[in-house]
Structure 1
């Protein structure tokens, strides 16, 4: 047998190639292990929609606090004006009592009853004066009037203090609700910001597709209703809007394309109840500020009896409202990041309708 020949060691050039290949493979493996996972767009959209819906719920609560704050501020202003008038009346009575005192002084001395009324505690005068039997008939009416005015003034001041304290409390709640809304919207936006421009476009396309599906369902429902002989014909178009309803719908149509703005009642942006309230104001009708309160602003209307101008409400807690325009559709202000639009009422969980 011949001698076995030892394999020659790899050349330096070959070693360099092998080392580079191994390093490249290691980098590739490392990159594969640590690559960012592709986001599940359906899950992202679901979470973003949920956050936006929660934000809208908070918006309606914010509107309630804001409305309460405005009413309390008006009440506080009214009471403070009343206090100012009461103080003026007291000042006038003190002036009259001062004149009585001056006259008595010129005639030999000030009656103790007048002196007591002019001291630092006029409200307690009559009790002390009665105990001392010092109220002269000539001054009795004036002193009783002064005591009554002082009693009213003290009562009004106490009411003003309580109202202002309540106003401060509502202001704190309003600020807290605002922070909640901003936090939810920021969280939703942060999730969208993590997506590529292409993926964000896909999420938007999904929203458009859902709107188209809702419109298709609405059309199919109308077609089935028109073909059914066992059911009433619900496909008959709603009567054309006229009078007040026409003014309401005309206003709402003029707002199409304007951005949603939470807490906004126009003219440049609206939230859902802000839009319906503004539309009704254009027709001379005042609605409550919150969607939940607008739910009680008129009698209920069944779905098959809807007419243009009716308010339509959505979700179990009635946190969204739109304006019915006929043909199964409404105008509404959707949510942050979207504009006032026309949408089938079947696109959201429908709860009922009201005709203010």
Structure 2
């Protein structure tokens, strides 16, 4: 059951990463669509302006300035007309160049938008596959659990608690927890306060509040409400945030668990963490060493 739930959590963080990527891609795609719309409108305006210039030239007979000078009874007007014609020709040339640049920009923006939409589709496919794996693993774990008798479930709960206490006792035995800081930063205290308010709320994969959370949804929202935006997933929190030695950990820091960085919790002090564990278990306080620790990161370093 634990292995199945762990696999579901790995898939959940993959889903979260794809979801975060899809949001950014959708935002970029929408921005590009807006730029394409503006370029299309600009192209229409230039075409209309060039059409008006062409009609004006046609009404004027389209005669070159030197010919108009020969046939006009008022040469001084012909010179003025020639100057105006030259200005008009220059404006037309400028508009033609602008039209060419607008069309080239339009093609480039349309290509970028198409690329972003394809990438968005790929992210959604990853999300769909991860969703299927999550639901499959959770269903399998629940099937195993459904076969257990109440007596076996109580025994399972006792065994889990014993395993957590034993793992934490090993961490305490190293003496490292006696070295950690007891005072968090102002941001860290706010993050802990937010996480504390969520105690008892259900775990739901992919959720980031306000009524339910998954592991990284809780930690990312706790720090966001403290005023610090951090990556959405446990893997990206491990990859992007500053690593600190376990002995230098302080309240508010995030503890990353397992070799694949698939789980994260917020250190609340006194050897305790606040975590959203897995399906079927609410946000709760547990010993910091109850799982395999990969390392510690500090969001407000």
State the TM bucket, normalised to the shorter chain.
0.7 to 0.9
- Counterpart selection for 1:314 from 257, 265, 274: 257
1:142-193 Cα offsets, whole Å, 9 max, x none, are 1111111111011111111111111111111111110011001111111111
Q: Does 1:142 align with 2:84?
A: no
List gaps (5 residues or longer) in structure 1: 1-47, 112-135, 226-232
Q: Does 1:180 align with 2:123?
A: no
Q: Does 1:102 align with 2:55?
A: yes
Q: Is the 8 A contact 1:102 1:110 kept in 2?
A: no
Q: Partners in 2 of 1:176 and 1:300 — Cα distance?
A: 31
1:206-247 Cα offsets, whole Å, 9 max, x none, are 32333444455556x28xx4xxxxxxx852673333511110
Aligned residue for 1:40? none
Aligned residue for 1:53? 6
1:75-154 superposed matches below 5 A: 75-108=28-61, 137=90, 139-154=92-107
Which has the bigger relative contact order, CA under 8 A and spacing at least 6?
2
Change beyond 3 A, Cα 1:316–1:216: closer
Larger displacement relative to structure 2 (193-202 or 161-170): 193-202
Higher alpha-carbon Rg: 1
The structural deviation recorded for 1:293 is: 0.8
Aligned residue for 2:145? 192
The structural deviation recorded for 1:256 is: 1.0
Q: Is the 8 A contact 2:39 2:106 kept in 1?
A: yes
Q: Partners in 2 of 1:237 and 1:196 — Cα distance?
A: 42
Q: Partners in 1 of 2:171 and 2:244 — Cα distance?
A: 19
Q: Is the 8 A contact 1:56 1:319 kept in 2?
A: yes
Q: Does 1:343 align with 2:286?
A: yes
The alignment covers a number of residue pairs equal to 275
Q: Partners in 2 of 1:218 and 1:138 — Cα distance?
A: 78
Q: Is the 8 A contact 2:165 2:290 kept in 1?
A: no
The structural deviation recorded for 1:100 is: 1.0
The structural deviation recorded for 1:318 is: 0.9
- Counterpart selection for 1:64 from 6, 10, 17: 17
Q: Is the 8 A contact 1:83 1:156 kept in 2?
A: yes
- How big is the alpha-carbon RMSD for the aligned residues of Structure 1 and Structure 2? 2.1
Q: Partners in 2 of 1:154 and 1:177 — Cα distance?
A: 35
Q: Partners in 1 of 2:37 and 2:127 — Cα distance?
A: 29
Aligned residue for 1:290? 233
Q: Partners in 1 of 2:157 and 2:91 — Cα distance?
A: 85
Larger displacement relative to structure 2 (235-244 or 246-255): 235-244
SS of residue matched to 2:191? helix
The structural deviation recorded for 1:52 is: 0.4
The structural deviation recorded for 1:54 is: 0.8
Q: Is the 8 A contact 1:312 1:352 kept in 2?
A: yes
The structural deviation recorded for 1:287 is: 0.5
The structural deviation recorded for 1:106 is: 2.1
Alignment TM-score, normalising by the size of structure 2: 0.85
Q: Is the 8 A contact 1:238 1:327 kept in 2?
A: no
SS of residue matched to 1:346? coil
Q: Partners in 1 of 2:180 and 2:232 — Cα distance?
A: 30
Q: Partners in 2 of 1:138 and 1:53 — Cα distance?
A: 68
Q: Partners in 1 of 2:92 and 2:167 — Cα distance?
A: 82
Aligned residue for 1:333? 276
The structural deviation recorded for 1:108 is: 3.2
List gaps (5 residues or longer) in structure 2: 65-88
The structural deviation recorded for 1:70 is: 0.6
